[in-house]
Structure 1
Amino acid sequence: MKKFYYFSKSKLKFVEIRNFYKKFVFLLVFFAILVSFFVFGTFLVFHEFINPDSEVKALKKSNKLLREKFELLVDKYENLDQTVNQLNEKSRELRLKANLDPKNTEIAYGIGGSIFEPIESYNSGEITTFLNEIDTYIDKVSLKVKIEKNNYSEITSTLKQNELLYDAIPAIRPCEGRIADDFGMRFHPILKFVRMHNGIDIITDVGTKVYAPGNGTVESVGWKGGYGLTMEIAHGFGYKTLYAHLESVKVKVGQKVNRGDFVAYSGNTGRLSSGPHLHYEVHHNGVTLDPMNFIYDDVSLFEIVKK
């Protein structure tokens, strides 16, 4: 390996330089690092001098993009808000059709004032206010969606119950014939004194088919004093119907029946029957009601009866 020397004035002779290559590499690396720091520092100073607001501009650009995204988000929520408001109007109509009391959703939602003020500058305080208003607005729309969801669940449940109620109400004439004695006080033709008549009498021949006026369950069949052979149907929702002076019954206790099902034959049984007819009563929660309030003249029995 080649050796390197230097002249020593103190010794007045050439002295060998030990570890020359290691010292040379060290100095080379040191000066390279020094030059790199110098160049990088010069670049930073020059760049800051040429573009003193570059960082601010970058932040403003980022804020602008964020603002546009937030405003787009607000537009979407405004459209959702309008849709929920339209659904609220529809739900008001549905609640009326379902016999439900209308809800004052304005109190639940909270109304008044503008939704939010659009951000006009890059001031951090205004941005914070803008974000808080958006957050409040989103909470308000979310509350509306939750209320409408509960509202529709209530409407759906009520409509299903109403369907069952409408099917159960004794809403048709139980047999063909002429109505002779109305509901109310009357002079009894056999007992010969005035007493309450708890139903109506339908004059018809013995053996006329009797039909269930609404869905229900046969509750009792048997002889009942002056009523003769009697049948009772429990329709649910507090409704019950009674059929007296029957010739025969074609259903059993506990049997389910639907409106229009054939259930019995009219007759002339019972000591208080003055002739062939069907005595028909309607009860609701134990109170006797006028059956005529449940019979619609514009609905023919043969339109309901199953063939």
Structure 2
Amino acid sequence: MAKVKYYYDAETLSYRKIEVKKSVLYRKTIFGFMAVLLIAFFGFIGFSQFLMSPNERAQKHELDNLMLQYQVLNKRMEESSNVLGQLQERDNNIYRTYFEANPIPEEQRKAGFGGVNRYKHLEGFDNSTMIKELTKNVDVLSKQLVVQSKSLDEIVQLAKEKEKMLASIPAIQPVKKEDLTRMASGFGMRMHPILKYPKMHNGMDFTAPTGTPIYASGNGKVIHAKRSSTFGKVVYIDHGYGYTTIYAHMSKIKARKGQKVKRGDLIGYVGNTGRSVSAHLHYEIHKDNRPLNPIYYYYGDLTPEEFLAMQKAAEEEGQSYD
């Protein structure tokens, strides 16, 4: 039986019964019922945990551990993807640019997998969405790694080819600086010493005593080692990449046709053979059958000061030696 409550009425000097409104009573009843339900719910959870069998506890522990491992794996996948992204950026903007190779398009690097549903076999599990997403991320990362691996293989080949090209392009004087008397005539129109009229001089003349060693200015293959009426004893070297060098007026040829030579190899000696008026080496560089000024191909052994001095001497108009 509910306890009856009273209050003292000062006007009537008597106690009156407290009347409880029905709405308030209903509210208290509902709140009380909800409180009982919540207590029962949380009590049941705690009790059910307490009542779990050892096998159920082991399964729950394994599931919690799998979720933790999933989060760790997802984090590592994200870190690996970021590292790969940085490598892809360097690949396109540094490596491939340096070796004059076209960058790999973004759509080719990050292309997905089309066609049939590749992950249909992963459906129907409690965590199918999570499993499918992780598998898809692994597949995409694997494909990007394959694309990047092929790109790096290509870069290695380009580097090897670049190294070979740099070793082949003429880069040193064919006569050592200490052996030179002087650089007698440069590239351009010069008075021919025998014909006595201005004629295009397609190379540079280096005066040196007869018998001074002459060296190959780059790696290549000897395609001619012969005597001609104009150049006297002369050697032609094919360096590849469109480059050919000519060494004329030798006193003696040391190289032979078909021989492979490296930059700095001895190929002959300075002389005065052919159409020449004094002991010297006439040296030419051709690119795609077009004569070039050799002065721009001595970067392998000239200081900036020596280059400027040689350039000044080469620009002086005068008479060539051949």
TM-score range, shorter chain: 0.5 to 0.7
Unaligned stretches of 5+ residues in structure 1: 1-49, 112-123, 301-307
Instruction: Give TM-score, length-normalised by structure 2.
Output: 0.64
Is 1:247 aligned to residue 248 of structure 2? no
Instruction: Give TM-score, length-normalised by structure 1.
Output: 0.67
Partner of 2:69: 69
CA distance in 2, matches of 1:255, 1:108: 45
The amino acid across from 2:253 in the alignment is: V
1:226 match: secondary structure: coil
CA distance in 2, matches of 1:274, 1:155: 51
Is 1:298 aligned to residue 299 of structure 2? no
Give aligned-pair identity as a percent: 34
Cα RMSD for the two superposed structures: 3.1
Pair member with larger Rg: 1
TM-superposed deviation, 1:188:
2.1
Task: Give aligned pairs, total.
Answer: 236
- Kindly indicate whether the alpha-carbon contact (under 8 Å) linking 1:205 and 1:277 is maintained by their aligned counterparts in 2: yes
Partner of 1:210: 214
Partner of 1:94: 95
The amino acid across from 2:303 in the alignment is: D
Partner of 2:152: 152
Is 1:275 aligned to residue 288 of structure 2? no
Match among 224, 228, 240 for residue 220 of structure 1: 224
The amino acid across from 2:77 in the alignment is: Y
The amino acid across from 1:148 in the alignment is: Q
1:93 match: secondary structure: helix
The amino acid across from 2:223 in the alignment is: E
The amino acid across from 1:277 in the alignment is: H
The amino acid across from 1:284 in the alignment is: K
| 1:225-253: CA deviation from partner (whole Å, max 9, x where unpaired) | 21111111122222211111111111222
The amino acid across from 2:83 in the alignment is: T
Partner of 1:161: 161
Within a 5 Å distance, the mapping from 1:47-126 to structure 2 comes to 64-91=64-91, 92-97=93-98, 99-101=99-101, 103-104=103-104, 106-110=106-110
Distance 1:79 1:105, change over 3 A: farther
CA distance in 1, matches of 2:169, 2:136: 49
CA distance in 1, matches of 2:173, 2:209: 16
CA distance in 2, matches of 1:128, 1:289: 69
Match among 223, 234, 240 for residue 236 of structure 1: 240
- Kindly indicate whether the alpha-carbon contact (under 8 Å) linking 1:187 and 1:193 is maintained by their aligned counterparts in 2: yes
The amino acid across from 2:94 in the alignment is: E
1:207 match: secondary structure: coil
| 1:237-277: CA deviation from partner (whole Å, max 9, x where unpaired) | 22211111111111222222211111111111112x13221
- Kindly indicate whether the alpha-carbon contact (under 8 Å) linking 1:206 and 1:277 is maintained by their aligned counterparts in 2: yes
CA distance in 2, matches of 1:109, 1:278: 55
Unaligned stretches of 5+ residues in structure 2: 1-46, 112-123, 307-322
| 1:98-150: CA deviation from partner (whole Å, max 9, x where unpaired) | x2336255433449xxxxxxxxxxxx899433333223322221122112211
Partner of 2:13: none
Distance 1:185 1:136, change over 3 A: farther
CA distance in 2, matches of 1:242, 1:219: 10
- Kindly indicate whether the alpha-carbon contact (under 8 Å) linking 1:175 and 1:210 is maintained by their aligned counterparts in 2: yes
Match among 187, 191, 216 for residue 191 of structure 2: 187
CA distance in 1, matches of 2:260, 2:83: 45
TM-superposed deviation, 1:65:
4.6
| 1:275-294: CA deviation from partner (whole Å, max 9, x where unpaired) | 22111011222222211111
CA distance in 1, matches of 2:262, 2:184: 27
- Kindly indicate whether the alpha-carbon contact (under 8 Å) linking 1:109 and 1:140 is maintained by their aligned counterparts in 2: no
Partner of 2:34: none
1:150 match: secondary structure: helix
CA distance in 2, matches of 1:232, 1:164: 20
TM-superposed deviation, 1:167:
1.4
CA distance in 2, matches of 1:186, 1:219: 28
| 1:160-215: CA deviation from partner (whole Å, max 9, x where unpaired) | 11111111111100014222222233332322233322211112222211011112
